[in-house]
Each structure stands twice: as structure tokens, then as C-alpha cells.
Amino acid sequence: MIGYATIGTNDLDRAVQFYDKVFAPLGGQRTFANGERMQFYASKAMPGMIAISKPYDEQPATWGNGSMFGFPAESKEQVDAAHAAALAAGGTCDGPPGQRMPTFYGAYFRDLDGNKICVFKMG
């Protein structure tokens, strides 16, 4: 149902390098950019797109309390790999990979701007 969602950043170049590494295990790759303000990513396995973006109003990007982006994975191994890539690229762990419910395996981290991200496998 989502066409795309944006994740705010204060340093687009640094954020793009981070998300290149995080999305690689999930099959995500850069699609197109909107100048020096926004970089889109997509995956054949994931509907919709994610954009990493500097705010249009040129105010500082901030993370929302209670806001989180969830990215589906095809396997638990992909969850583990994306989480490890995030931490290796400078992100912080906000919940290690693990079985949260009988049908939900997930891992949580914060990106370089403090945005909370979950990578998960359902089923």
C-alpha cells in the first residue's frame, strides 16, 4: 500500500553510504536521485520505495518518538546480515536479531541520524 516513504537525514552522502550497506543484503539498490536532496532505493522483492532525504524545508532532520520503518526480508539470514551491516556502518543496536513472536523474527537498529529501523522475516 505504500508507494514510498522518506527517512530524514542531515548528511545525505553519509546516509547513502550507510543505506547502500544495509539494503544490499535485502536486494535493495539505488534507483534514482532528486538532486542533492534525496536518494531512492527499491528492491524486486520489496514493494514500494524508500527515499533517504534532506528535509525540503531545510530545517534539521529529526527522528520521531514512536516512529519506525520496517523492511521485510526473505530469510532470517537476511535479517541478520542487514543488522550486522548496519552496525558495521556505524548504526547502533536497538534490539539484536531474534524470534519475537512465533511468526516474527526481527532485528532493530538506529541509523546515523537516530531513525529506528526494523528488518524482519514473517512466517
pLDDT of residue 1: 67
What are the extents of the domains in the chain? Answer: 4-55+68-122
Contacts of 89 (CB under 8 A, 6+ apart): 17, 18, 21, 22, 112
Q: In this structure, how many other beta carbons lie within 10 angstroms of the beta carbon of residue 11?
A: 13
Q: Which CATH class is domain 4-55+68-122?
A: alpha beta
pTM of the model: 0.93
The model's pLDDT over 34-44, given as tens digits with 9 standing for 90+, comes to 988 999 999 98
Q: Residue range 85-89: average pLDDT?
A: 98
Encode 48-77: b = buried (16+ Cβ within 10 Å), e = exposed.
ebbbbbbeeeeeebeeeeeeeeebbbeebe
Percent of the residues in the chain that have a pLDDT greater than 90, as a whole number: 88
Inform me whether the pLDDT recorded for 49 exceeds 70.
yes
Inform me whether the pLDDT recorded for 117 exceeds 90.
yes
pLDDT of residue 15: 98
Cβ-contact 121, 73 below 8 angstroms: yes
Inform me whether the pLDDT recorded for 18 exceeds 90.
yes
Cβ-contact 31, 40 below 8 angstroms: yes
